[in-house]
Amino acid sequence: MISREENARMTLTGAAAPAGKLMRLYWQPVALTEELAGPRPVKAVRLMGQDLVLFRDEQGRLGLLDRDCPHRGADLSYGRREHGGLRCPFHGWLFDVEGKCLQMPAEPEGSRYCDRIRQGAYPARERNGIIFAYLGAGEPPAFPDLDCFIAPDSHSFAFKGHMECNWLQALEVGIDPAHASFLHRFEEDESTETGYGKQFRAASIDSNIPMTTLMREYPRPIIEVEPSPFGLRLLTRRPLNERQTHLRVTNLLFPNAFVIPMSAEMTIVQWHVPVDDTTNYWYAMFTSFGRAVDKDEMRRQRLELYQLPDYTPRLNRSNNWGYDPEEQRTKTYTGMGFDINVHDQWACESLGPIADRTREHLGTSDKAIIAYRRLLLRSIEQMEKGETPIMVLDRAAAAGITGPASMDAIGPAEGWEAYWKDVDRKRRGNASWAKSAA
């Protein structure tokens, strides 16, 4: 049973909150690279309740500064990008990417006041289409050698989407293997072709059984959760008969991401990043172990549901996520169309701005969620004692965090433990850049 205090401890991510301090020990996605494309690479961003401005200076260096000007508080996201930094339009103070004040043009000639002013500045780094920020104190940790970070640009694609709810309930949907049999259920089987938003209509590897049938007919998965150096591994089995079992292996990447297979050749890493306590962005990196990805096509597909400039979904609470009771009666479990992203959006947002976990009744199928909450609370405790929590990595440790392995296939009922690793090994064997997976 989660108490009110524990719920607050896990969900709130302001700079003074326990989970906020924990999340600030890690790199967090803050924007897509494409958001800084165009003639004026300056963007207002909000991360864990902090208002910031992200920009590239004239040399192309990334800067991430507190958004309020230290002079009298004007909004620096309206700044002028010139003379080696970002200049406040109010009285012309100029800041470089490190937050150093370079000029105060209204102050007396020869004034050294500038030297005493420093704007809050944070490290920002780009990886395969996502700009990550480090809002913590001291040196940021190293990036692990995860597939999504070491894959060539040609084999990765990044996107994001906005959610009107706390980050934790969104993350918890990603580590809930049972929901796919219900939330994403379709009453009719379709072609086994993989399509975006229809992952659960695609064929599982090594089988002609449509995933739709499989999820519908085997709704009681056996879920095992194992601790791993990167967080948790989830092994979900749906035994089909005496010889065969459906297997799905996914991962929780501490603190706020998960890794799931999307198709035989592609995996997704998805972060749920607090914008503030009641909204979050999902950021996803798609990594292909086979062919190069068609970025334009992937982007086009996603823009059918999400609209720019804020990547907000067209179906959301304001239009009941597209809910149609007749469709629910005849075609889909939710009545919210055939795109599973909409179903998940509803599952995250309908719990309210911050899910009240004091009222839950968790069952056996919530095993992974229970394990994750324990890990989260334990990590907060370690941080408070001055110990280093999991996944705060130096360079040597980061090189050992690879993969992680994931898969979705029909395998043998006996020996599935070796089988799934083999499927993953073969898949990454096709990619010259891939490392062997943890």
Cα separation, 287 vs 178, whole angstroms? 25
Whether the CB-CB separation of 84 and 97 falls below 8 Å is answered with no
Which residue, 72 or 300, is less far from ligand FES as judged by CB? Answer: 72
Task: Return the residue nearest Fe ion (CB atom).
Answer: 344
Q: Which of 36, 78, 84, 90 binds ligand FES (CB under 6 A)?
A: 90
CB of 78 to ligand FES, least distance (A): 10
Residue 88 engages ligand FES in binding (rule: CB under 6 A):
yes
Tokens of 260: 């799931």
Cα separation, 22 vs 6, whole angstroms? 14
Number of amino acids touching ligand FES (CB under 6 A)? 9
Residue 74 engages ligand FES in binding (rule: CB under 6 A):
yes
Residue 53 engages ligand FES in binding (rule: CB under 6 A):
no
Residues between 319 and 348 that touch Fe ion (CB under 5 A): 344
Q: Around 243, how many Cα atoms within 13 Å sit in the side-chain half-sphere?
A: 0
Choose the stretch contacting ligand FES; rule: CB under 6 A; options: 91-99, 138-146, 266-274, 275-283. 91-99
Number of amino acids touching Fe ion (CB under 5 A)? 1
Residue 327: phi, psi to the nearest 5? -65, -40
Which residue, 95 or 122, is less far from ligand FES as judged by CB? Answer: 95
Q: Which of 93, 258, 281, 321 binds ligand FES (CB under 6 A)?
A: 93
x/- site string to ligand FES, residues 113 to 142, per CB under 6 A?
A: ------------------------------
Whether the CB-CB separation of 306 and 314 falls below 8 Å is answered with yes
How are strands ordered across the β-sheet holding 94-95?
80-82, 85-87, 94-95, 101-103
Whether the CB-CB separation of 164 and 316 falls below 8 Å is answered with yes
CB of 70 to ligand FES, least distance (A): 8
Residue 182 engages ligand FES in binding (rule: CB under 6 A):
no
Residue 65 engages ligand FES in binding (rule: CB under 6 A):
no
Choose the stretch contacting ligand FES; rule: CB under 6 A; options: 52-60, 64-72, 118-126, 218-226. 64-72
**DSSP output for 282-330:** EEEEEEESSSPP-HHHHHHHHTTTEETTTTEESSSGGGGGG--HHHHHH
Residue 420: phi, psi to the nearest 5? -65, -35
CA angle at 165 for the pair 159 and 171, rounded to the nearest 5°: 60
Residue 71 engages ligand FES in binding (rule: CB under 6 A):
yes
Which residue, 21 or 91, is less far from ligand FES as judged by CB? Answer: 91
Burial of 97 (0-12, 13-18, 19+ CB in 10 A): buried
x/- site string to ligand FES, residues 27 to 46, per CB under 6 A?
A: --------------------
CA 270 to mean position of chain CA atoms:
3
CB of 51 to ligand FES, least distance (A): 15
The binding site for ligand FES (CB under 6 A) comprises: 69, 71-72, 74, 88, 90-93
The binding site for Fe ion (CB under 5 A) comprises: 344
